[in-house]
Structures are given as C-alpha cells and as structure tokens.
Amino acid sequence: MTLQRWGSFSKLAAGFVFLASRRLALLPNYKHVCPFSQCAANMAEEAKKLAAYAAVDNHVQNNQVVGVGSGSTIVYAVDRLAERVRQEKLNIVCVPTSFQARQLILQHGLTLSDLDRHPELDVAIDGADEVDGDLTLIKGGGGCLTQEKIVAGCAKHFVVIADYRKDSKALGQQWKKGVPIEVIPMAYVPVSRMVAKRFGGEANLRMAVNKAGPVVTDNSNFILDWKFEHAQNWKEVNTAIKMIPGVVETGLFVGMAERAYFGMEDGSVQIRDPPVN
C-alpha cells in the first residue's frame, strides 16, 4: 500500500470510529465503563483525598506549626493546607519529613521551617502503609521512616491519613512488603541475619528501581524489609530491633498515632481512635 493510500485509509478508519462512538453515546443505556484497574486506582486516589482533607480541616488551626509527612496521600493534605492558608489567611509553619515533603511545601508557597527552629510541633499529619486495630502502623514504604518518626515524636498530636486499602485488623494482613528497617550500610548483613534469627521471617535489602544497587535514604543509609511470619508483640519487637547495633530506626510506629482517617470506597471517611485500655 502506498503512503498516500495509507493516509486516506487511516482517515476513513478514524471517521468510522468517530461515528461509532457518537452512536454509542446516543444510546439510552450506554455508559462508558473504565477498566477495573483504572476505576480501582481512581477510587483509591479519591479516598486518599477525602481522608487528607478531613484531617487538615479537623486538626489544623491558625498560628500552628505543622509536621508534613511523606508519600502519595500527603500530597492531598498539602493541597488542602495551602488552600486553607490562602482562603482563611492562616499563619502556618511547616516542618517536612523528607525531601519530597520539603518540595511540596515550597511548591505551594507555604512557610518552610525545621526542628532546629521549631522543635515542638502542634500537629503532624502523615500517611501509613498499614494501620491495625490498635493504631499501630507500618511506615517507610517510601524510605522516610526515620524522619517521619522524629517529626511525629515532636508533635503534640500525630494524625494518620490513609485509604481503605491500608486498614487492617492485624499488621501483615494488607501490607505484604514487610517492616522497613533503616540501617547503617556496613551493618546490613549482620542486622538482616540477627532479625531473621531472633524474630523469624527474612529481612532483605531493598533494591532501587531506577538505579543500580540498593535504595539509599535521605540519611545515606540502607533499608531492610523484614517480612515477618506471624503477629508479634510489636512494642517489644520494635524496642528489641532498635537495640541491634547498626539499626537506625524501624518502620513500626507503636502507641504514637492518636487518630486515623480512612477514606472509604463509598465516599465516606472513617475515623478511628486507639482502643481505651
């Protein structure tokens, strides 16, 4: 087929496709159906947005210092925070937990600070990879667990935002990638062996996707992902792992979150507080 004929043929085919789509759109019972994976992704993103907006609206007030977490859900929290600052003329200072959070704060024109100038925060808002019934969290899927835990620990109130996929009765139910452990590079092999020996499962070095070699944190450390075999006493395990020489921090957040917001599939927001002992 010559180039000229191919061009004419493609125009004709495009015309048929256009007419067919127009006719389908005019049918009374026709609805455009997105692929399942795309619809699920859109639903999850909307759920993240609902949770983030609810947390910012309920916990951020004028003249506060706010800890800004990391990850995909926090993007919506910063969007809402910036919107409220503009609309309500709020005086808000933001302390980031990562390079990503810092860039989000600057991109939205919010006031950037750090723990040197503001060592005590009014509230910290962050996402989670998984949240259990006791509000114990697994965090660190994005590699920022140490800064996230430091900022959360400096806040009077620590609030978690997530979509419905992160909600679990027990850790490991939804999140299958394990507990992140940030380690000094020279110690990753002995730490990996010791964690597996003492607590079971396996602790694997997290490898990078778009670079050769392992993931390197903002602190120039490595990350082990510990895939545990069964439920544990997370408070005791967290303390024990942190005592291993070479461990910087774990992605277990035990007894730190005071409230979690979950954006749900039906468009509602579910709020969970820790159980009263």
Catalytically active residues, by annotation: 148
Count CB atoms within 10 A of the CB of residue 264. Answer: 16
Tokens coding 51: 């949770």
Rounded distance between C-alpha atoms, residue 106 and residue 47, angstroms: 25
Tell me the residue type at 277.
N
Count CB atoms within 10 A of the CB of residue 103. Answer: 13
178, exposed or middle or buried, with CB in 10 Å at 0-12, 13-18, 19+? Answer: buried
Count CB atoms within 10 A of the CB of residue 249. Answer: 22
Are the beta carbons of 101 and 157 closer than 8 angstroms? no
Rounded distance between C-alpha atoms, residue 252 and residue 133, angstroms: 14
